Amino acid sequence: MDICCPTLVGLFRIGLAKRLRDGSLFFLPDYFTAAACFVDFQSKLNALSLSPNLTSLCLGDPNEYIIQSFPCFGIQSKQDWISKLGESTLIDSLCQSDLSDLTSCDACFQAASKVQAQLVSLDGNISHATNCLSLSLLYAAGVANKFGPESKLDAACLFWMSFLSPWPSKRKNHIALVYSLISAALTVVLLSCFFSLRCWWDKYKRKRRVQVQSIDVKEESDAIELNLKLGAIWLDSEKLQRATDNFSQKNMVGEGSFSLVYKGTLSDGTLVAIKKIRESDFQGDTEFCKEVEISSNLRHQNLVPLIGCCMTDGNQGKGEELGKQRYIVYAYMPNGSLQDHLFYDENRFGGSNRMPLSWPQRKSIILDIAQGIAYLHYGVKPAIYHGDIKATNILLDENMKAKITDFSLAKQITEGQSLISTRVGGTYGYIAPEYALYGKLTEKSDVYSFGMVILEIMTGRKALISSSTGSPEPFLLSNWVLKQITLGQTHEVLDPYLVSTSPQAIMERFVLVGLFCAHGRVVCRPNILDALKMLEGDREVPPISNIPQPFSYSLLPNHSDL
């Protein structure tokens, strides 16, 4: 990597010099242009079976290559250079010829260093010295030298690409030979990215399977940057159609607010769950990018593994805009969702009858969910808040191990930070009061939702219970559980299937932990690690006291929209 990365940086700078020669700017004009070039650069590396994250690893952030990131005496273009330094500098006279011999290369480099010193003096800020040297070298390769930046020997001189050098190197071992063969091929194919953004864009639009199109600039940036960080496979939409028998109704296994889920079989026999984002989802592209980027970087036994994704522009080759399609492909979980086992509806998705969950299964599922949330909160940096923990987002594998899925509402938060959102996501019945009322998402918001899921598992009742008085306003399961416990009727809370065969004291502890997790006051809730310790019996459950007035979603101005 200590040879490969400098080579890729050198190749990228050759492209910048070529762009300067054909155009005007020293660096790229904005984030979108830089990110677009990064994507094209990485696609060529992918074609050579190189690592899918080389671009981000070696080049860093696209923002590092936009002109605003290189302040030096206000120079951004060739016109700026000429107006401030004149039409003839030392670089113009000493860097215009063949730089293949060591003497001429050294003379050119010394000229660039002197012009750098002149620029720093005029700029008055010594911290801009490196920026000024970058401009000087790009000018030497892209403007002053008559052979241009694509000359291998000139590149060896100005961009320190030692494997191209005809001179003996005291610093580098010739194990770089293998990289020279790769890079020689790269040079030809990569430079096309930089001829102009227009050329890139025209070519990019012609692809049937694209990552970005027909979305605003902010979302385009998200989708392009996503491609750099992605560890999953981009799948062809036609393969997904074949896998699901053209998304046949018989293969539908789930449905959400903004998506349909289909069971599919890939050509190699792999069973997958294909989440098809509805076109009516007004935040589809943003949520698609976010879910894929977050999911692709997660590895835990209690999270559903991401296999791949697909995004099409709807262009079928005839110029007819048929609408974009977005798919996320996960490993298939043969036992469906927790919702299917707790509140089974035999009329949906053609399932068969299932036996009620046993106590060992319910205990295992609760602990699995807790461990998955703990990984999201403490096992990755930055921490991830799921934002929509609920029974339908808990899937069960062939061994009935629980795995969390659906990261469309997830947020990555830096340490000590909470998120204030103007548009609240989540699901009615599971959403924490502070998130519903004020849009404040914290780790305790996931804990609240987890508490509601515990109570559902232990009681066999849904998070929202219809009123027995005929009121149209349902009430929360946690409020009903609290009422029963304060009346000394804890045993009445448990699912009837559990009462006769299971350890009463342990089950009641699980109910109490669920109630504390679903506490209306944030400060009274445990974090997920403390909740896990209480569930496992390693920490005492605090006594029930000072429980606030039951929370009601009727307090929300638009609670029906959650």
Is the distance from CB of 446 to CB of 387 less than 8 angstroms? yes
Handedness of CA 353, 358, 361, 362 (dihedral sign): positive
Decide: helix, strand or coil at residue 98.
coil
Q: What phi and psi values does residue 231 have, to the nearest 5 degrees?
A: -105, 0
What count of Cα atoms within 13 Å lies in the side-chain half-sphere of residue 301? 8
Provide the strand spans (E) within 197-255. 233-234, 252-255
Q: How far apart are CA 81 and CA 92, in angstroms?
A: 12
- 276: annotated binding-site residue? yes
Q: Cβ distance 2 to 175 under 8 Å?
A: no
CB neighbourhood size of 537 (10 A) = 10
How far apart are the C-alpha atoms of 293 and 290, rounded to whole Å? Answer: 5
Q: Which amino acid is at 536?
A: E
Q: Which of 158, 162, 45, 145 is nearest to 95 (CA)?
A: 145
Q: Which two tokens stand for residue 203?
A: 């070519």
Contact of 14 with 191, CB cutoff 8 Å: yes
E-state strands within 256-305? 259-265, 271-277
The angle subtended at Cα 199 by Cα 194 and Cα 203, nearest 5°, is 115
For β-strands 394-396 and 306-312, DSSP reports them as: unpaired
DSSP 530-556: HHHHHHTTSSPPPPS--PPSPP-GGGS
- The alpha-helical segments, DSSP class H, found in 375-489 are 433-438, 443-459, 477-486
| Closest of 317, 348, 372 to residue 255, by C-alpha | 348
- Cβ contact 435:441 at 8 Å: yes
Dist. CA 46–CA 38, nearest whole Å: 12
Q: Is 446 a catalytic residue?
A: no
Cis preceding linkage at 62, omega within 30? no
272 forms beta bridges with 264, 331
Which three-class secondary structure state does DSSP give residue 83? helix
C-alpha–C-alpha distance, residues 407 and 229, integer Å: 16
Give the C-alpha distances (Å, rounded to integers) separating 432 from 258, 551, 553: 21, 10, 10
Of residues 154, 388, 406, 446, which has the active-site annotation? Answer: 388
What single letter denotes the amino acid at residue 323? Answer: G
Q: Which residues are annotated as a binding site for ATP?
A: 276
Catalytic positions are: 388
Q: Which residues are annotated as a binding site?
A: 276
